[in-house]
Chain A
Amino acid sequence: MTAFLQRLGAGTLGITERVGRGHLFLLHVLGGFPGLLPRFGLVMKQIYASGVLSLLIVAVSGLFVGMVLALQGYNTLVDFGATESLGVVVSLSLVRELGPVVAALLFAGRAGSALTAEIGLMKATEQLSAMEMMAVNPLHRVVAPRLLGGIIAMPLLAAIFSAVGILGGYFVAVGLLGVDEGAFWSQMQAKVDLYEDIANGVIKSVVFGFVVTWIAVFEGYDAVPTSEGVSRATTRTVVHASLAVLGLDFILTALMFGDE
């Protein structure tokens, strides 16, 4: 009985300690943000690594998600003779939910795992300790640019995802299914609000970018410096970041759209 209690207590303490370490880590990294301004090239490289290199997968996924949404929405709406609303269905689901969420999931898989592996390997090969020896703070030099790069790249990726998805939906709806082109755009414009829908979608994607990148860099920095530890940390990044995105999405949606 006491053994069970002890294990439970140890587990809880372990989790709490890790959460606390993650937040202290974040605090130190955020302290490095002002120092990045004169050396924006560092951030630029990270935007390239996590943003530009994720561009293809995000754009292609967005295209297909938009096309599938149009196909499925058409099947339901055609029963009510309301196929003109297809533009609203596609654009609202993309801008409010699917754009930020799916882009963040792809971002966690494509860029987050790479960040964890990179930083974990830096730790395993003692590059981080070497930096400390040279009085360079690795949190400021290595981690901060990656976090800022992720925060900048993610909303852009989500916007590209939504825009490409709406174009994909447009091609399927107007080109393939014969929905009226004018009604497709005008209904969309009548129902989608700049602040209510698009601005909230952008806020969501900024939050997701922050959380995913934070989890990724922390897992990498906190990894056990062996090849097995790095591989575990990479897996944990993808799992935890995806769960965090989906959970946060529910909370954000309830806060933003819940009072309608």
Chain B
Amino acid sequence: MMQSRTVQIWVGLFVIMGMAALLMLAMKVSNIRAFSGEEGYVITARFENIGGLKVRSPVTMAGVVVGRVSKIGFDKEIYEAVVTMNIDPRYDNLPEDTSASIFTSGLLGEQYIGLEAGGAENYLRDGDRIQLTQSAVILEQLIGQFLVSQADK
């Protein structure tokens, strides 16, 4: 009887340790508290070029993550990329003339969408489209332009 009691205590301890490890992974390591992009409302934007943007890339405003890219499509009528993003429902007061640009975090970092609020009185609602967009900056094009401008001198 004594034997099985120690076994049970050890197993209990083991299970608690395992659960604690899982809890640490969930709370301390992962982004459980961050907006996951599951809920929220959807807005779309068209870009000439999205560069290296991916699904689940962050959508930021003033540097704060307010949503995530949920879908990237291609409009074959006008040859533009259609980016669908989920915005955190807490931020439901983005003006209608908000503009969206694709930025790169750091020189080699990942790409994200930066929103900039406009001055309109009406707010973007579920399913709306952002009209003002600015494409991703492609490093190779920049270098090419730089070389051309140097050659002209």
Could you list which residues of chain A lie within 8 angstroms of chain B, going by C-beta atoms?
41, 44-45, 47-48, 51-52, 55, 80, 91, 95, 153, 155-157, 159-160, 162-164, 166, 185, 188-195, 197-198, 202, 260
Contact = CB atoms under 8 A, between A and B. Distances in A.
A51 B17 CA distance: 11
Contact of B11 (A44, A91, A159, A194): A44
Chain B contact-residue range equals: 20 to 34
Contacts of B36: 193-195
Contact of B30 (A44, A47, A157, A189): A189
B26 interface: yes
User: Is chain A's binding surface mostly helix, strand, loop or mixed?
Assistant: helix
A163 B11 contact: no
Contacts, number: 84
Interface stretch (B2-10, B39-47, B81-89): B2-10
Contact of A160 (B8, B11, B17): B17
User: Is chain B's binding surface mostly helix, strand, loop or mixed?
Assistant: helix
A80 B21 CA distance: 32
A159 B15 CA distance: 11
A166 B13 CA distance: 21
A109 B36 CA distance: 39
B72 to A, nearest CB: 13
B18 A197 contact: no
A22 B25 CA distance: 35
Most buried by A among B4, B17, B54: B17
B25 A162 contact: yes
